[in-house]
Amino acid sequence: LKINITEIDIPLAFGPAFEGERVRGGDLYCQMGGGKTQCTELVKMADMKEIEDGKVEVVGPDIADLKEGDTLPLGIYVQIAGREFQEDFEPILERQIHHLINYIQGVMHIGQRDISWVRVSKGAVEKGFSLKHLGIVLHAKFHQEFQKILDKVQITLYSKKEDVDKLTERARAEYKHRDERVDKMTDEDVDTFYSCTLCQSFAPSHVCTVSPERTGLCGAYNWMDCKASFEINPTGPNQPIKKGKVLDPKLGRFEGVDEFLKQASKGAHETYNFYSMVHAPMTTCGCCECIAAMLPSCNGVMTVNRDYAGETPCGMKFTTLAGVMGGGAASPGFVGHSKFNVTQKKFILGDGGLLRVVWMPKSLKDEIYDRLNARGKEMGVENLADMIADETVGITEDEILPFLQEKGHPALNMESLIS
């Protein structure tokens, strides 16, 4: 027996109309994540007997325990059971948390995975908003939208630091496992890429193309995920794209991708190069994990991740870059990408690939350290991670150039970046 839920029992208005709504400084009552506290999301498959459909539990303090201006850590843990459910579907449902929470009037959701951010307005708190409502929404909408593949949904909202940290540690291992599923695949292995237009509600002309060697720029969707999503929902936001004729193998331009892009961006974009940030790069939306930018004096590029709030050698912080790029723009010299993509083989390969990267925040470098060195080695450079400057070396091109020279960074001997 399938359960049909049409009413969503929360004291706030709910629907796609509120998706683009912002919670700005003056309206803000409290927030979770966004660099202030940890905020993590995880969807996991469960055994039918193990969970209770519709059970929503808040473990720790709730909104009513806070005062204006407070922050709270948050872990959103969703367990799903169903005869048709597969582990491969977990990332797809997890990625829906973003727009579904945004459907709540007065509540804003940014990001994904372990870099989520929930902002709650004063208006929502006056109407009696509780963390429990997040679970009620997810339970109802998951049943509505994924009826075919699930039978039970149980949600736990953790708001004590030790619980959130525990969930985060577990979630990171899951993300890693998911990311690595495409590790052995190459773009040449497949004749079909997938589109993702999930972000068009915020960035109307943005079209992600996802290939085995280029995960979605949010980091939450890889080729396998898009493929599974298309199987669940053949008319949904992830459509197969036949690569078609290869128009430029180096920069990564494909006839099929261009045709799809024209139609899916409603004519806003004609073409993009899949493996370049210098020449006609892919469009970028606001949820990218990182943004890469050119550093002409160093003949290289930098990248900065969302979780780094400081200055960067391109003269802009992440938030400024995201503000300029995040609406679906495609600006030569800049591109949004996922953290995992940095060490995927096609990362800006048309511009020289990973060996062009001369700066990134230390936190990102530490996070992907082993993969950086492994990929660098594949490209013929030992200990690449230690040659890449970070904020402890400098935050201007002038400050980092002597370091790159001293380390013998490979970008300095590459052909000119702007040719």
Give the Cα separation of 331 and 281 in Å (integer).
7
199 lines the binding site for ligand SF4 (CB under 6 A): yes
217 lines the binding site for ligand SF4 (CB under 6 A): yes
Using DSSP bridges, classify how beta strands 240-242 and 253-254 pair: parallel, antiparallel or unpaired. Answer: unpaired
Cβ 393 vs Cβ 407: under 8 Å: no
Give strand ranges (E) for 197-257.
208-210, 240-242, 246-248, 253-254
Q: Considering only residues 182 through 211, tell me which ones interact with Zn ion, judged by CB under 5 A.
A: 199
The site partner of 220 among ligand SF4, Zn ion, none (C-beta below 5 to 8 Å per kind) is: ligand SF4
Spatial CA neighbour of 55 closest among 131, 142, 154: 154
Give the Cα separation of 201 and 317 in Å (integer).
25
264 lines the binding site for ligand SF4 (CB under 6 A): no
220 lines the binding site for ligand SF4 (CB under 6 A): yes
**Residue 79: CB partners within 8 Å, gap ≥ 6?**
43, 44, 45, 46, 50, 51, 152, 153, 154, 155, 156
Spatial CA neighbour of 242 closest among 195, 182, 283: 195
Q: Considering only residues 56 through 95, tell me which ones interact with ligand SF4, judged by CB under 6 A.
A: 95
Closest distance of CB 217 from ligand SF4, Å = 5
Residue whose CB is less far from Zn ion, 104 or 285: 285
Residue whose CB is less far from ligand SF4, 206 or 409: 206
Q: Write each residue from 261 to 290 as x if it is in contact with Zn ion (CB under 5 A), else as -, in one continuous string.
A: ------------------------x-x---
Q: Considering only residues 287 through 306, tell me which ones interact with Zn ion, judged by CB under 5 A.
A: 287
Tell which one of 30, 93, 208, 304 touches ligand SF4 (CB under 6 A).
208
3-state SS assignment for residue 14: strand
Cβ 324 vs Cβ 268: under 8 Å: no
Angular region, 103: left φ>0, alpha ψ -120 to 50, beta rest:
alpha
403 lines the binding site for ligand SF4 (CB under 6 A): no
Residue whose CB is less far from ligand SF4, 91 or 353: 91
| Burial degree of 133 (CB within 10 A; 0-12, 13-18, 19+) | buried
Cβ 173 vs Cβ 205: under 8 Å: no
The site partner of 118 among ligand SF4, Zn ion, none (C-beta below 5 to 8 Å per kind) is: none
Residue with tokens 């991670």: 385
Closest distance of CB 152 from ligand SF4, Å = 25
Q: How far apart are the first and last CA of the chain?
A: 63
Cβ 41 vs Cβ 138: under 8 Å: no
Stretch that binds ligand SF4, among 120-128, 217-225, 326-334, 370-378 (CB under 6 A): 217-225
The site partner of 221 among Zn ion, ligand SF4, none (C-beta below 5 to 8 Å per kind) is: ligand SF4
Tell which one of 285, 301, 364, 372 touches ligand SF4 (CB under 6 A).
285
Stretch that binds ligand SF4, among 161-169, 178-186, 212-220, 308-316 (CB under 6 A): 212-220
For residue 109, give the H/E element and its range. Answer: strand 107-110
The site partner of 241 among ligand SF4, Zn ion, none (C-beta below 5 to 8 Å per kind) is: none
Residue whose CB is less far from ligand SF4, 124 or 285: 285
Closest distance of CB 197 from ligand SF4, Å = 6
Residue whose CB is less far from ligand SF4, 129 or 194: 194
Q: Considering only residues 137 through 196, tell me which ones interact with ligand SF4, judged by CB under 6 A.
A: 196
110 lines the binding site for ligand SF4 (CB under 6 A): no
Give the Cα separation of 220 and 178 in Å (integer).
9
Tell which one of 32, 76, 264, 287 touches ligand SF4 (CB under 6 A).
287
The site partner of 264 among ligand SF4, Zn ion, none (C-beta below 5 to 8 Å per kind) is: none
Tell which one of 171, 218, 301, 321 touches ligand SF4 (CB under 6 A).
218
For the four alpha carbons of 143, 144, 150 and 151, in that order, the dihedral sign comes to positive
User: Which 8-state DSSP code applies to residue 410?
Assistant: G
Stretch that binds ligand SF4, among 210-218, 273-281, 298-306, 339-347 (CB under 6 A): 210-218
| Residues near ligand SF4 (CB under 6 A) | 95, 196, 198-199, 208, 210, 216-218, 220-221, 285, 287
| Residues near Zn ion (CB under 5 A) | 199, 285, 287
